[in-house]
Amino acid sequence: MAIENPRIVADVVEVNEFPHLAQRYAIRGVPKTVINETVEFVGSIPESQFVEHLQRASSPSTS
């Protein structure tokens, strides 16, 4: 998504190189996705579930 839309920013972090981030985000499995610091999930999920997570993260009630 970040490749297609300049308003979306994505970072990929190697937790072995940044243990403070692994601790901050409580990494217990990979890949772990955190959206807007409000919604997170671990592992690969179907596109429909990913879209649901995006909608939750962008809704005013989660901010």
Kindly state the tokens that stand for 23: 């601790």
pLDDT at 51: 94
DSSP secondary structure code for residue 29 in this structure:
S
Contacts of 29 (CB under 8 A, 6+ apart): 42, 43
pLDDT at 62: 52
Integer Cα distance of 24 and 55 in angstroms: 24
User: Quick check: 58 pLDDT over 60?
Assistant: yes
The stretch 14-21 carries a mean pLDDT of 93
Give the tens place of pLDDT for each residue, 22-56. 999 999 999 999 999 999 999 999 999 999 999 99
